[in-house]
Amino acid sequence: MVKNIVLWVVIAVVLMSLFESFNSGESQGRTMDYTTFVHEVSQDQVQEVVFNGQVINGVKRSGEKFTTVMPIHDSAILDSLLTHNVRATGTKPEEPSLLFSILVSWFPMLLLIGVWLFYMRSMQGGSKGNPMSFGKSKAKLLSENQVKTTFADVAGCDEAKEDVEELVDFLKDPSKYQKLGGRIPRGVLMVGPPGTGKTLLARAIAGEAKVPFFSISGSDFVEMFVGVGASRVRDMFATAKKNAPCIIFIDEIDAVGRKRGIGMGGGHDEREQTLNQLLVEMDGFEGFEAVIVIAATNRPDVLDPALLRPGRFDRQVMVGLPDVRGREQILKVHMRRVPVAKDVDAAVLARGTPGFSGAELANLVNEAALAAARANLRNVTMREFELAKDKLLMGAERRSMAMNEHEKINTAYHEAGHTIVGRLVPDHDPVYKVSIIPRGRALGVTMYLPEQDRYSHSKQYLLSNICTLFAGRIAEGLMFGDSAVTTGASNDIERATDIARKMVTRWGMSDKLPPMQFDQDRDASLYLGGGTTQTMPISDKTTLIIDEEVSGIINSCYAKAKSLLEENKDILEAMKDALLKYETLDALQIDDLMARRPCRPPVPESSDSKDDDKSDKTEKSTDDKNSDDKNVRADDDKEPGSESKDARQDDKSGARDGDETTDTDDQDKK
Annotated binding-site members for Zn(2+): 414, 418, 492
The three-state (H, E, C) secondary structure of 15-82, written as one string:
HHHHHHHHHHCCCCCEECCHHHHHHHHHCCCEEEEEEECCEEEEEECCCCEEEEECCCCCCHHHHHHH
User: DSSP characters for 156-192?
Assistant: S-HHHHHHHHHHHHHHH-THHHHTTT----SEEEEE-
Is 415 an active-site residue? yes
What is d(CA 272, CA 281) in angstroms, rounded to the nearest whole number?
14
| Helix/strand/coil for 129 | coil
User: DSSP characters for 353-414?
Assistant: -TT--HHHHHHHHHHHHHHHHHTT-SSB-HHHHHHHHHHHHH--B-TT----HHHHHHHHHH
Q: How far is C-alpha 107 from the chain's CA centre?
A: 46
Q: Identify residue 527 by its one-letter amino acid code.
A: Y
| Helix/strand/coil for 4 | helix
The three-state (H, E, C) secondary structure of 620-647, written as one string:
HHHHHHHCCCCCCCCCCCCCCCCCCHHH
What is d(CA 588, CA 625) in angstroms, rounded to the nearest whole number?
7
Angle (nearest 5°) at CA 196 between 195 and 197? 95
Which helix (H) or strand (E) segment holds residue 573: the answer is helix 569-582
Q: How many CA atoms lie within 13 A of 579 on its CB side?
A: 31
What is d(CA 520, CA 457) in angstroms, rounded to the nearest whole number?
20
Active-site annotation holder among 272, 328, 386, 415: 415
CB 28 within 8 Å of CB 119: no
Binding residues for ATP, by number, are 192-199
What is d(CA 586, CA 591) in angstroms, rounded to the nearest whole number?
9
**Helix 540-567 crosses helix 405-424 at what angle (to 10 degrees)?**
100
Total number of residues shown for the chain? 670
User: DSSP characters for 212-241?
Assistant: -EEEEEGGGS--SSTTHHHHHHHHHHHHHH
Active site residues: 415
